[in-house]
Structure 1
Amino acid sequence: MRPLFTDEDFEFATRTLLGGVFAGAADVGEVLTTVDRIRDGNGRSWVDEWTATADRLLAEDGSAASTAARALRAASYLATATGAADRTGDDGLFASLWERHRRAWDAFVDATDLAVERLEVPYEGTTLPGYLFRSGAPDDPRPTLVYTNGSDGSVVGAWVRGISGALARGWNAMTFDGPGQNAALVRQGLHFRPDWEHVVTPVVDALLARADADPHRLALVGVSQAGYWVPRAVAFEHRVAAAVADPGVVDVSAAMLTHLPHHLVRLLDAGNREVFDKEIALGLRLTPRVRAMMTWRMRPYGTTSPFDFFTAARAYTLTEDVVRQVTCPVLVTDPEQEQFWPGQSRRLYEMLPGPRELVRFTAEEGAAGHCEPLAVGLRGERVLDWLARQLT
């Protein structure tokens, strides 16, 4: 497939946006005309042009239905803009763009005629924000899909790859911001943790206290880094009826460590924090794009030390002892050309002790790449059909 950008980050983000057209989170003409204005590889241009497209949509008047549709697309474009915020040299831009994307999303929530409720899930002395979309009446228990984002997915991504498809089947759907994600990161300063069962269990508690969630038909779907978190969580939280890992992730750190020269890996193994950080800092001065990427990746881990970041990431590993405790059926997606965790979907599939399915997505189908960005429809059909069979 011919790329629109030589910049790999821009290309992947654009494909993700185009996939969102299936769920109303983008419009083809808006995406392509914005892409046409962007200078390839220029972070400021990327931010400015996606922001300009979003601003135009938000400024237009219309009916409640049109306002909701435009706000959803604007939220999607603003979320996309955040991906290059750290490449502009403006330290405060990421948070301000994120806030703008969230306001646009909330404008969609307020204007839509869908039944949607903002949630505050009790969590270790505070709360985690979430959104529950209902297909039925408040006292009508329905199958409920719980969508878990990865390391940097927006709430719009939850709509595109989980919520919209679940609603079309008459299910309820819920997403939440876990530690290190979205509002929990930007507004609350909460950071990632590897033991995600301590996040999912409060979410399950909150849902099962409601009359509209069927306690026997609860599905947990995780994308990107949540392909680690979801299997980890269901190893301990057994009230989940079925789970999806898209893709399967056994060792989160592998995506980071493959970029390190061998001598730096040896410093990491030796625990030499001071020398490791000095060498990384020297290299980052010569590569602004990689420096921005490191800032982006370290932020949800709550550190500015590369040594601490790589060390922390190594704790995000699924062991045989943990995986053998999974009792619910698990679907693992296995996209061709997986660029972050190649081969790990099959590894996870082979580790799982109970009912399981490995679903391949291919380039010929237009479904290659991490999280199948251009195949939202096909992915949703396969994943939701499988879940429907488990939840009957």
Structure 2
Amino acid sequence: MFTYFPNNYMWSSAVMLSIMADGQLGQIDRWLAPLREAEPDTESWTKAWDGAAAQQEELAEEDVRRGFRRSASARYLRASTYYLTGERQTPPSPAKTRSYQCALTAFAKAVEHMPRSLERVEIDSPDGILPGYLIPARAHGRAPVVIFYNGFDVTKELLYGIIREEFADRGIACLVIDTPGTGEPLRLRGVPSRPDYEVPTSAIVDHLVTRPDIDPARIGLLGISLGGYYAPRGASFEHRIKACVAWGGVWDYGAVWQRRWATRSTTTSVPFWQLPWVMGTETMEQALERVKQWTLRDALPHLTQPLLIVHGEHDGAIPLEDARKAFQAAGSTDKELRVFTVAEGGSEHCNADDPDPARQLIADWFADHL
């Protein structure tokens, strides 16, 4: 992986995720270069990303004044990505809330100026409203759709930056959505994650099958990072899902966190405070106990739909062996484990070091299976 911060895996992986979501290295470097040789400091990190985002907003406003709406949309989208990249590593605080609110505002402006506008949807669920954006298919009539789930610390806005029009160009709609423990539900309403992700999955499917623009018989489910738990778990018990992809294989997420905490791992992409935050507990000890429920051991035998697991050979966050265990346990007769190697690229977590081949593979696979 390109280590922008040579001695800081967490910050380097954040830079790679930002680029994966269409961030530009030159823009990032203008603001982060002073941090490369300094001692890690969260306040400086947040301010640097906020600065990079604010600069893109200013340039977007100039584009709007000149009538360059498409250029403005791209600038606002990157501003949202930069705000969120800083916010992900910022502990709960007024600074974190400000960055997140600025990200939502910038993304809304990006949508306003897009040539093909996204539709914001709000879906009723047992956990309250689940907000998302529907990326329409470039197709006539009822289209298949892929639901795209966040990972441990991602948001629907970053998901859009990662996938953009890849599904739409193949005649497939895509719903990027915040669910329990992610995005708006966590940040604005304090809704933690839950192990039984078939519950939000069923609520989302209930909504999609009522839409006149969606084919209810062709609904797929994709999850990235911890979404590699959320999506297979949802598909295991919600069989209106017709195909499932784990962009990062997960087997026993509780065991992963036990190892991280016991060794005080320096190769995690998130700070340790995030586990109690996402789990909805007051202490790390409570969070480590709760996260033991996040295992696919008993769920995957129930997953009989086509399944693709995409993993990196050198994934430092989730061991490749976990992806292999998930693959073996899945009940599907149509299943594939695609491992990207160091030699070909894309060998890191969620292929962030070279993401486009994995992104294209996933979109093509869904086009074949929906």
TM over 0.5: yes
Deviations 1:43-89 (A, max 9, x none): 22221111111101111211221221101000111111113322xxx
Residue 182 (structure 1) aligned with residue 171 (structure 2)? no
Aligned to 1:333: 310
Check conservation: 2:76, 2:106, Cα contact below 8 A.
Answer: yes
Whole-angstrom distance in 2 between the partners of 1:45 and 1:259: 26
Deviation for aligned residue 1:159: 1.4
Deviation for aligned residue 1:296: 2.4
Gaps of at least 5 residues in structure 1 are 263-282
Which portions of structure 1, spanning 4 or more consecutive aligned residues, are displaced by more than 4 angstroms? none
Q: How does 1:162-311 map to 2 (within 5 A)?
A: 162-261=163-262, 293-311=271-289
Q: Secondary structure in 2 aligned to 1:333?
A: strand
Amino acid at match of 1:352: A
Whole-angstrom distance in 1 between the partners of 2:138 and 2:258: 46
Gaps of at least 5 residues in structure 2 are none
Residue 360 (structure 1) aligned with residue 360 (structure 2)? no
Q: Secondary structure in 2 aligned to 1:244?
A: strand
Deviation for aligned residue 1:326: 1.0
Residue 52 (structure 1) aligned with residue 54 (structure 2)? no
Whole-angstrom distance in 2 between the partners of 1:95 and 1:337: 34
Check conservation: 1:334, 1:361, Cα contact below 8 A.
Answer: yes
Q: Secondary structure in 1 aligned to 2:131?
A: strand
Return the TM-score normalized by structure 1: 0.86
Q: How does 1:22-37 map to 2 (within 5 A)?
A: 25-37=22-34
Residue 145 (structure 1) aligned with residue 146 (structure 2)? yes
Change (3 A) 1:2 1:193: closer
Check conservation: 2:340, 2:347, Cα contact below 8 A.
Answer: yes
1:120 to 119, 122, 128: 122
Deviation for aligned residue 1:188: 1.7
Change (3 A) 1:172 1:2: closer
Provide the alpha-carbon RMSD of the alignment: 2.2
Q: Secondary structure in 2 aligned to 1:253?
A: helix
Deviations 1:97-150 (A, max 9, x none): 11111111111112212131111101127321111111247x721121110001
Larger radius of gyration: 1
Identical columns (%): 26
Return the TM-score normalized by structure 2: 0.91
1:318 to 276, 296, 303: 296
Q: Secondary structure in 1 aligned to 2:246?
A: strand
Deviations 1:287-342 (A, max 9, x none): 9xx9x92322221211221121001100111124x221112100011211111220
Aligned to 2:325: 347
Change (3 A) 1:125 1:222: closer
Change (3 A) 1:299 1:260: closer
Q: Secondary structure in 1 aligned to 2:189?
A: coil
Whole-angstrom distance in 2 between the partners of 1:259 and 1:245: 22
